[in-house]
Amino acid sequence: MTASKTADSARIAQLRKELAYHNHRYYVLDSPEVSDAEYDRLMRELQELESRHPDLVTPDSPTRRVGGAPAEKFEKVRHRVAMLSLANVFDDEGLSDFDERIRRQTGLPHVAYVCEPKLDGLAITLTYEQGRFVRGATRGDGTEGEDVSANLRTLRGLPTELLPRDGVKAPGMIEVRGEVFISKKDFKRLNDKREEEGEPLFANPRNAAAGSLRQLDPRITASRPLSLFLYECVPGEGVPAFRSHTEKLGYLRSLGLPVNRAVSVPSVEGVREQYRASLEGRHALPFEVDGMVVKVDDEDLRQRLGQVSKSPRWAVAYKFPPEEESTLVEDIQVYVGRTGALTPVAHLKPVKVGGVTVSRATLHNEDELRRKDVRKGDTVFIRRAGDVIPEIVKVVEGKRPEGTQPFVFPTECPVCHAAAVKDEEGAIIRCTGATCPAQLVEKVRHFASRTAMDVDGLGEKLAAQLVETGLVKSFADVYHLTRDKLLTLERMGDKSADNLLASIERSKQTTQPRFLYALGIRHVGESTARVLAESFPDVRGLYTASLEDITRVKDVGPTMAEVIHTFFHEPLNREAIDALLAAGVTPAPPVVVKTGVFAGKTVVLTGGMSGMSREQAKEEIERRGGKVSGSVSRKTDLVVAGEDAGSKLKKAQELGVRIVDEQAFLQLLQTDARG
Ligand code: IVH
């Protein structure tokens, strides 16, 4: 070797070591010491040196993580010890059966368990010899898998060399098992990119992970953001015998392998608690989890329990209710909303997802519909995660019946047949009909709703009847309804008519914020209506307000100001407002409360309350000058945590926000009694 080659060779060795170290900091310890740019610089230097000396390239060099040459097919690997799978349980009863069986078989009064998140990816096994990664395989049928070493090498989170610490020595041979997966963020990024490039989308992170690892061309795997966690190992040369699973996980960690969080509990009761907590916390995790794996902690007990067919008796997968299902699109219909927006909605064959039955899913707008190319007769994946509205993830193309056509979006309003055109913002197609009954029904319903004018008994059905019969053509017509007119409506009795008229009469005494909100101005929700009312105690003040005047209102941005300005300059709208005032509607200006416990404070309500509805609580707070917000942040002053409060409460605890229960909240309201 020449002197310069010897120097390069030393530098190569050092760079590899440094890069392995930084990978470990980044992927295993989650605490990087260098920036991505610095990492890339080291990598480039190594690449350059290796291209100068191709004979110094080794298969486990970090540069190989970009992927080597494609293979013809995967070699088969026979697993030294079979890769088992887990039996599933779906409810508490199933869990109790599992625990009882173990206690019966062992004669123990309690069994200690370890609870681990059940990652939704695919199982792999990795072999290290003398501390070096030599082989990796998929589970396959449990006995025989596929050799995906070249692909696994491209995972930056997989140490190609073990980095033992805490006095542990790398064993002569060890086989470790775990899961390859894609984090939610990476999955989204991956699918966004595929969408941009016009490639088919992955239905979920699991499919994306499996599809990415089982690629004959490792360069493709290298371009996919795969992550990895290990959770088991099989006995090997120089691997200590473990007393417990907890001890084993500690050992894997001290070899520098990525290990997920696991919780040890003394008995099945702890498993129940853990399950509740992880079900609640699943959406906050950075990766997809489809359940919790419950494992007997004691290794001797595991031995005694053994296995049945392909699953161990000492572990079980306690599944979460699925959040994704496939179902059939029976129809696609276009609805017209209060603002005239045409919204395509898929009517689905009812299916249970995330605990509720779903029979419709919005497709949002024409662009989205076209992008996903959902057609009548298609089988689709739908997803409902947490409280979010169900959405169609993708079409199962293989199941598309023959002869289907892409959905043709109407060019006219399906209700009033006026032209439907794309609005300024691009994606939304709106009905241009000023007197479109679809909008009017929705507008009247909104006008009368509880948080607006609060006309009891005037819901969607009645609003539709009133509009269809022509009794209501504008808001003010609501105040010109008479007993006789109402009695002409189908299914309207004397008593209901009287009750309705009474609540219409009552609604005249309203507040300025409610009144502004009831007008149904685009973008103007309850809180904007409130701030607007504070600056414009008389609604007519808005007729002459300039765009600048409106923009000056706290929390009103330029887009919103524009909409508000346009609204109050439209003569038809002024006419409608004047007619309401002439009919006797009297909006009281808001009282600006500057003192008291709630004045100027931001409050978040979470969990259930027994003494009052959330709506009432909100009103009480607002009456005292407070603001109610939907999410907890550093700006939150107070969190009212009712029954079964969840993630918001947790966040508040983390941020150190003041938290009160319902009882204490009621007391606060009392000390600051107003109104
Ligand atoms: S233990 C004998 N632990 O779930 C033990 N599996 O049906 C076998 N999985 O094939 C696996 N997270 O792909 C175990 N913390 C975890 C897991 C886990 C996900 C997967 C794995 C396995 C399947 C079981």
Q: Please give the number of the atom of ligand 1 that sits closest to the Cα of 262.
A: 15
Pick the catalytic residue from 5, 73, 76, 118: 118
Q: Which residues pair with 617 in a beta bridge?
A: none
Regarding the beta carbon of 118 and ligand 1, being less than 6 Å apart is answered yes
The answer to whether 415 and 436 are in contact (CB under 8 A) is yes
Pocket test for ligand 1, best of 90, 124, 175, 179 (most atoms within 8 A of CB): 179
Going by pLDDT thresholds of 50, 70 and 90, the confidence category of residue 182 is very high
The answer to whether 121 and 210 are in contact (CB under 8 A) is yes
Kindly give the interhelix angle for 268-281 and 647-655, rounded to the nearest 10 degrees.
Answer: 90
Regarding the beta carbon of 259 and ligand 1, being less than 6 Å apart is answered no
Beta strands in 262-373 (DSSP E): 263-265, 289-296, 307-308, 311-312, 315-319, 324-336, 342-353, 356-362
**What's the pLDDT tens digit per position in 440-471?**
888 899 999 999 999 999 998 999 999 989 99
What is the Å distance from ligand 1's center to 176 Cα?
Answer: 13
Going by pLDDT thresholds of 50, 70 and 90, the confidence category of residue 435 is low
Comma-separated ranges of CATH 2.40.50.140 domains in the chain: 324-399
pLDDT tops 50 at residue 18: yes
Regarding the beta carbon of 312 and ligand 1, being less than 6 Å apart is answered yes
118 is catalytic: yes
Nearest CA to ligand 1 atom 16: 118
pTM of the shown model: 0.57
Regarding the beta carbon of 302 and ligand 1, being less than 6 Å apart is answered no
**What's the pLDDT tens digit per position in 349-395?**
999 887 778 999 989 889 889 989 999 999 998 888 666 678 898 89
Rounded CA-CA distance 314/105 in Å is: 11
Nearest CA to ligand 1 atom 22: 85
Comma-separated ranges of CATH 3.40.50.10190 domains in the chain: 602-674
324-399, which class in CATH? mainly beta
The answer to whether 422 and 433 are in contact (CB under 8 A) is no
Phi, psi torsion values for 312, nearest 5 degrees: -75, 150
What is the Å distance from ligand 1's center to 209 Cα?
Answer: 15
What is the Å distance from ligand 1's center to 116 Cα?
Answer: 9
Nearest CA to ligand 1 atom 12: 118
Regarding the beta carbon of 515 and ligand 1, being less than 6 Å apart is answered no
Question: Quick one: fold of 437-588?
Answer: DNA polymerase; domain 1 (1.10.150)
The answer to whether 257 and 28 are in contact (CB under 8 A) is yes
User: What separation in angstroms does the CA of 382 have from each of 329, 352, 385, 390?
Assistant: 10, 10, 10, 7
Comma-separated ranges of CATH 3.30.470.30 domains in the chain: 88-319
Superfamily of domain 88-319: DNA ligase/mRNA capping enzyme (3.30.470.30)
Q: Which residues contact 303 (CB under 8 A, 6 or more apart)?
A: none
What is the Å distance from ligand 1's center to 379 Cα?
Answer: 29
**What's the pLDDT tens digit per position in 620-674?**
888 888 888 888 988 899 999 988 888 888 889 999 999 999 989 998 888 877 6
Regarding the beta carbon of 112 and ligand 1, being less than 6 Å apart is answered no
Comma-separated ranges of CATH 1.10.150.20 domains in the chain: 437-588
Nearest CA to ligand 1 atom 9: 118
Instruction: List the structure tokens of 428.
Output: 């939304």
Regarding the beta carbon of 436 and ligand 1, being less than 6 Å apart is answered no
Regarding the beta carbon of 315 and ligand 1, being less than 6 Å apart is answered yes
pLDDT tops 70 at residue 67: no
Residue among 392, 394, 40 at smallest CA distance from 194? 394
Q: Please give the number of the atom of ligand 1 that sits closest to the Cα of 123.
A: 13
pLDDT tops 80 at residue 109: yes
Average pLDDT over all residues of the chain: 89
Regarding the beta carbon of 442 and ligand 1, being less than 6 Å apart is answered no
Q: Please give the number of the atom of ligand 1 that sits closest to the Cα of 88.
A: 7
Regarding the beta carbon of 316 and ligand 1, being less than 6 Å apart is answered no
pLDDT tops 60 at residue 51: yes
Pocket test for ligand 1, best of 118, 143, 285 (most atoms within 8 A of CB): 118
What is the Å distance from ligand 1's center to 391 Cα?
Answer: 28
Comma-separated ranges of CATH 1.10.287.610 domains in the chain: 3-66
The predicted pLDDT at position 171 comes to 95
User: What separation in angstroms does the CA of 109 have from each of 141, 289, 411?
Assistant: 36, 31, 70
pLDDT tops 60 at residue 675: no
Rounded CA-CA distance 499/497 in Å is: 5
User: What separation in angstroms does the CA of 339 have from each of 144, 414, 444, 464, 526?
Assistant: 59, 14, 12, 16, 16
Question: Which has the minimum average pLDDT: 62-66, 344-348, 448-452, 642-646?
Answer: 62-66
Regarding the beta carbon of 294 and ligand 1, being less than 6 Å apart is answered no
> Residue range 324-340: average pLDDT?
89
CATH architecture for the domain at 3-66: Orthogonal Bundle (1.10)
Which percentage of the chain shows pLDDT scores above 70?
97
Regarding the beta carbon of 179 and ligand 1, being less than 6 Å apart is answered yes
Strand order of the β-sheet with 315-319 is: 87-89, 315-319, 289-296, 113-119, 263-265
CATH number for 602-674: choose from 3.40.50.720, 1.25.40.10, 3.40.50.10190, 3.30.565.10.
Answer: 3.40.50.10190
Q: Please give the number of the atom of ligand 1 that sits closest to the Cα of 139.
A: 10
Instruction: List the structure tokens of 173.
Output: 């041979």
The predicted pLDDT at position 425 comes to 66
pLDDT tops 90 at residue 438: no
